[in-house]
Amino acid sequence: MPATTTLFRAARPAFQSSAFGTTRAAYSRAAFRNFSQSGRRYQGGASSAAGEGAAHQQQSWFSRMWNSPIGFKTVHFWAPVMKWALVLAGVSDFARPAEKLSLTQNGALTATGLIWTRWCFVITPKNYLLAAVNFFLGMVGIVQVSRIAMYHRSQKNAGVLPTADEIKEEAKEKVEEVKNAVKS
């Protein structure tokens, strides 16, 4: 007899349904027994219906937040809290005139907000607080960038902004002034 058939014959009782059937059924009954008694599906075996109140006390909200992977003592909590200051600063800039806003700064805030919003759902642990602040940072940035773009478009259409030829002529005049000043 080949060695492989001997191996499978020896292992055959382990693959029979009766060998796993009792274990599977016993596990499922035990899991649902705790669920039906206490209202919670996965609860430790130490608590019973009689001694449930004293043996199994609920943790307070503060202790759960303190021991959480995104709780009070981690950067996952404090980074979003501090980042709300950027969102509030952007919202306060809504009152500023568009000509005083920086396109590069608001573009960077927009990109940061949108990129990090996606990243918050990829990292472990998922940080929904950080995702929320980044989403709002991106939205504030989009509003500001659109305000700046509309301002520049209105200035260009009104003819207030100098054209490229006017800037070149002005630069040539300044170069001539500097040359004359150096010669004298």
Q: What are the structural domain ranges in the chain?
A: 3-43, 69-183
> What digits encode the pLDDT tens for the residues 70-129?
777 777 777 888 889 999 999 999 999 999 999 999 999 999 999 999 998 998 888 888
pTM (predicted TM-score): 0.52
Three-state secondary structure of 53-68:
HHHCCCCCHHHHHHHC
> What digits encode the pLDDT tens for the residues 132-151?
999 999 999 999 999 999 99
Token duo for residue 134: 């980044």
